[in-house]
Amino acid sequence: MSIEARSNRRYVPPRRVVPPDSTPRFAARRNLLHLSSSGWDLHVDDVRAEPELTALISADACWLLAYQDWVSRRPRRWQGRAWRSWRKEEAALAAEQDGLVRASFARPSLRPQSSA
């Protein structure tokens, strides 16, 4: 029995945002740049070697600022219209986060976040 991947399936972006970790520990001491959208780290020397990584890092920083702004504007649940609008913003942030994660996983210089 084999499992075949369907190629005719349409890609559907996620509807929920995965919250970023709190401030990563020891990233600055180890010369690492933390990507908040994916939770991975890039070494500063790798960014110097590949200048196109700066676009990924700046897009990740913009996403983090937009996420923090979105969280700070959370309406009360009983505010129906504001709640629905806020949830639509979440879907847009989730799609942007998914694109950043896909772009960051394509990089060979990623390092998993250390738990120490």
pLDDT of residue 80: 86
pLDDT of residue 9: 60
What pLDDT, in 10s, does the model give residues 33-54? 888 888 788 888 888 888 888 8
Rounded Cα distance, 98 and 96, in Å: 5
What pLDDT, in 10s, does the model give residues 51-88? 888 888 899 999 989 999 988 998 988 888 988 888 89
Long-range contacts of 87-92 (CB under 8 A, 24+ apart): 90/15, 90/16, 90/17, 91/13, 91/15
Residue 2 has pLDDT above 50, yes or no: no
3-class SS string, the chain: CCCCCCCCCCCCCCCCCCCCCCCCCCCCCCCEEEECCCCEEEEHHHHHHCCCHHHHHHHHHHHHHHHHHHHHCCCCCCCHHHHHHHHHHHHHHHHHHHHHHHHHHCCCCEECCCCC
pTM as predicted? 0.72
